[in-house]
Chain A
Amino acid sequence: MDVEFLSRLQFAFTIGFHYIYPPMSIGLGVMLIIMEGMYLRTGNKMYEEMTKFWVRIFALIFGIGVATGIVMEFEFGTNWATYSRFVGDVFGSALAAEGIFAFFLESGFLAILVFGWNKVSSKMHFFSTIMVTLGAHLSAVWIVVAGSWMHTPAGHRIVGEGTEARAEIVDFWAMVFNPSSVERLSHTIGGAWLAGAFLVLSVSAYFYIKNRHIETAKAGIKISLIVAFVASLFQLFTGHSSAVQVYEYQPAKLAAFEGHYETAPGDLYLFGWVDEEKQETYGVKIPGMLSYMLFFDSEKPVTGLNEFPKDERPPVNIIFQTYHLMVAIGMFFIGFTTLGLFLWWRGVLFKQKWFMILAVFSILLPHIGNQIGWMSAEIGRQPWIVYGLLKTKDALSKTVSANDVLISLIMFGLIYSLLFVLFIFLLNKKIHHGPDDYRLISAQDDSVSMKEVQ
């Protein structure tokens, strides 16, 4: 196995694992704002205990997100030193901005969110919840900006030649608002909201089925259904504008999404298989629909993969599959949440056990959607690490051997597996503990020191 393969595998593995957590923090943050906002508005203690319950889970998710995120920042340098030298001028400033504008905000107010219930007023606590969530969103902003620049570089110039070449910023704002930043950011954030909303939906539906914490469960189901519905519609629009943007700036990737080889009016596949050897795509399709979606004209030709040299095409079938699965999951979200709201409107939502069971298992879908959506975007950029400027194979560290990477990859494999098992174990434990009963809690004094008790 060579260094390139191992380094790519390590990056994919470490970022894939990391990417389980930040979307949940971002989405759960939004849910916390709503729950705590309901508490402040209604004064209903049930919402307070509900918020506290979810803050405990938020802290667990956030902790693992931060711990695995530090790895990502340094992995650019450890495994991709040549890339780091090439993009440092541009990419580094976005990472530094994430540190100074997002991480300090998040971590500072997180302390109040988790430990500050008895230290600050309830308004100040609510403000901290908002700030942590804002910080989590800002973090997404800067990291997605940096990632988008790798897809659609802008605001830079290339100085030096050959191995000495590097990108330098000419126009900072053109770099920040590069052609794909806004579409990519909105679609990523929408996916994060879905991850948060479905987490609350799933756990609340579980409580409901088990006949525990019924009041909290019903409130949780209602709040999360609304957020999930809004977010899934949002994903429809941002997904569409992302696809249009991809066609404009990375046509090879869009052609790969649909296994589209000949430049001709494009069809939209519902599902299918791409034979990359024969350059044929089989499956169930709607003729002309791709062209219609891109141009509102089903006759207009869409650039096909044959227009690109073979060594500048991304791997087609894997992108085709991940992209179509993502779209299918998105469609399911719209259908499922619309149905849920309809049942609620008819007043029969809480009589549908099958709906609740589906809701419990639906937690997996946003995560699958986020992972494979990200895969289709990033693998779609291959063979480029910075689209059109630097190839992945030329971006590696020169001083790192395959053995070094193998050792670190094995260590990551072990640690992350352990971490995941512990995460699921503790999450399960917290869920089984459930929210505290506010009718009992109000009788106690929270701030009693353990020391005095003993």
Chain B
Amino acid sequence: MYEGLDLNVTWFVLIGVLLTGYAILDGFDLGVGSLHLLIKNDLDRRIALNSIGPFWDGNEVWLVTGGGALFAAFPHVYATFTSGFYLAVMLILMVIIFRAVAIEFRSKVESATWRKAWDIAFSISSIMIGLLFGIALGNVIIGIPVAADKEAYMTFFDLLNPYAILVGITTVALFMMHGAIFLVMKTEGDLQKLVRGWVNNAIIFFVICYVTTTMATLIYVPQMASILKSHPEYFLIAIFNMLAIANIPREIFHGREFRAFLSSSFSILALLALFAIGIFPNLLSSTISPEYSLNIYNAASSRTTLEVMFTMALIGIPFVLSYTISIYWIFRGKVKLDNTSY
């Protein structure tokens, strides 16, 4: 089946699509969560929470499916990454649990203290998820100590290097910008006015982080830039990315929030595309020796599995897209609270 198709490359791209879908979709609800404590009154907090109410759970499915696909298509990468980053992965999982619980439980008890406690849990866990994923991404960019036995022997504190932390903060900034734009789209009146003010600040915060990260990458991770030297056309992605970001305040100014949201979504897509181009064909590059790096061939499942999964993807993707689009369509427009709200 699928003669002439390099399924290893295809699955590299498909997992990229799933994780990009995750970053764009969960990105905005994590961003809304990260900004949550800046909203002062309870009713507005409820509106903000309900803006992501019908979506956040489905958005997480992109991560779950991405994880499953990584396990199936590149089991060595899945095994090396999750066991090598053991405590970091455990921390992410617990923060994800905490956040889900905070969203579910916040409005279930009529008590100001109860709500305040869950508001803080919700906001901090939202920031932590962005930060931790960013740190993980930063470590993948600079490489991890994958040994000859495909295992990465390292400690939790090895992950906390300055470059990775920088990528982590950049990710939080990106999600805040993305989430603020989403909130502008879903709110009206005074709350919208307040959030509109945050968008520009978030853009500035993000651009500063982004420029710093780019410079740090050029200095500390020259291999990421080498592909750009041999294929200058990829620079276009970076340029389009900056144009998309610059477009956001313009669209917000004209009240075209959805277009602003598309721009920030495009920006996430462009950043992850640059990341993917930079690491390809490796998935985890080894800092011990390049030959120990896990790439799309030496870490992959058998051709049969890649074929079976590709068939599943061809069958499943139209369904997934149709549910996703329908849900966003059904719950379009400004948030109205009712008796089914959080």
Contact = CB atoms under 8 A, between A and B. Distances in A.
Interface residues of A, number: 78
A168 B319 CA distance: 28
A69 B73 CA distance: 21
Contact of B97 (A67, A90, A98): A67
B43 A454 contact: yes
A166 B302 CA distance: 10
Contact of A115 (B64, B83, B323, B331): B331
Given A104-B61, A399-B86, A98 B304 contact: no
A447 B104 CA distance: 21
Contact of B67 (A74, A397, A407): A74
Contacts of A78: 82-83, 86, 89-90
B150 to A, nearest CB: 7
A114 B109 CA distance: 18
B165 to A, nearest CB: 21
Contact of B338 (A84, A168, A169, A449): A449
Interface in B138-156: 149-154
B58 A96 contact: no
Interface string B42-85: 01001100000111011011011111110111111011111110
Interface in A150-168: 159, 163, 166, 168
Nearest to B154: A399
B98 interface: yes
Given A66-B60, A104-B323, A450 B75 contact: no
B61 A99 contact: yes
A410 B207 CA distance: 40
A67 B75 contact: no
A446 interface: yes
Contact of A101 (B153, B154, B312): B312
Contact of A89 (B43, B302, B323, B330): B302
A89 B58 CA distance: 26
Contacts of A407: 87, 90
Contact of B323 (A73, A99, A109, A446): A109
Nearest to B325: A108
Contacts of A16: none
Interface of B: 43, 46-47, 53-55, 57-58, 60-61, 63-69, 71-76, 78-84, 86-87, 89-90, 93-94, 96-98, 100-101, 103-105, 108-109, 149-154, 301-302, 304-305, 308-309, 312-313, 316-317, 319-320, 323-324, 326-327, 330-331, 336-341
Nearest to A97: B312
A77 interface: yes
Contacts of B66: 99
A60 B312 contact: no
A340 to B, nearest CB: 33
A208 B66 CA distance: 47
Contacts of B316: 100-101, 104
A398 B337 CA distance: 51
Given A85-B75, A111-B331, A399-B151, A419 B69 contact: no
A175 B323 CA distance: 29
4 interchain residue pairs of minimum CB distance:
A88-B75, A92-B72, A77-B82, A99-B65
A44 interface: no
A89 B154 CA distance: 26
Given A97-B312, A415-B97, A446-B339, A104 B79 contact: no
A348 to B, nearest CB: 39
A111 B58 contact: yes
18 contacts: A77-B78, A78-B86, A84-B82, A88-B76, A89-B72, A99-B68, A100-B320, A111-B53, A111-B327, A112-B54, A112-B327, A118-B338, A398-B151, A400-B83, A404-B86, A415-B94, A450-B46, A450-B337
B71 A76 contact: yes
A70 B60 contact: yes
Interface in A417-440: 419, 422, 426, 429
Contacts, number: 251
Contacts of A79: 83
Label chain B's interface by main secondary structure. Answer: helix
A107 B58 contact: yes
Contact of A411 (B81, B94, B154): B94
B101 A114 contact: no
A147 to B, nearest CB: 15
Contact of A63 (B43, B93, B104): B104
A147 B213 CA distance: 43
A230 to B, nearest CB: 30
A60 B328 CA distance: 22
B302 A111 contact: no
Label chain A's interface by main secondary structure. Answer: helix
Contact of B68 (A81, A92, A169): A92
A77 B81 contact: yes
Interface of A: 59-60, 63-64, 66-71, 73-74, 76-79, 81-82, 84-85, 87-93, 95-101, 103-105, 107-112, 114-120, 159, 163, 166, 168-170, 172, 397-400, 404, 407-408, 411-412, 415, 419, 422, 426, 429, 446-451, 454
Contacts of A63: 57, 100-101, 103-104
Contact of A84 (B55, B64, B71, B100): B71
A85 B93 contact: no
A285 B184 CA distance: 71
B82 A450 contact: no
B68 A77 contact: no
Given A93-B72, A426-B105, A108 B305 contact: no
Nearest to A76: B71
Interface centre among B73, B74, B75, B317 (most CB of A within 10 A): B75
Given A93-B301, A100-B317, 11 more contacts: A60-B104, A84-B75, A88-B72, A89-B75, A107-B57, A108-B323, A115-B341, A400-B86, A408-B87, A422-B105, A426-B108
A71 B72 CA distance: 17
A419 B89 CA distance: 20
A104 B324 contact: yes
A88 B77 CA distance: 10
B319 A77 contact: no
Given A74-B82, A104-B58, A398-B149, A95 B323 contact: no
B288 to A, nearest CB: 14
Given A67-B97, A74-B67, A107-B57, A397 B86 contact: yes
Interface centre among A79, A81, A110, A159 (most CB of B within 10 A): A81
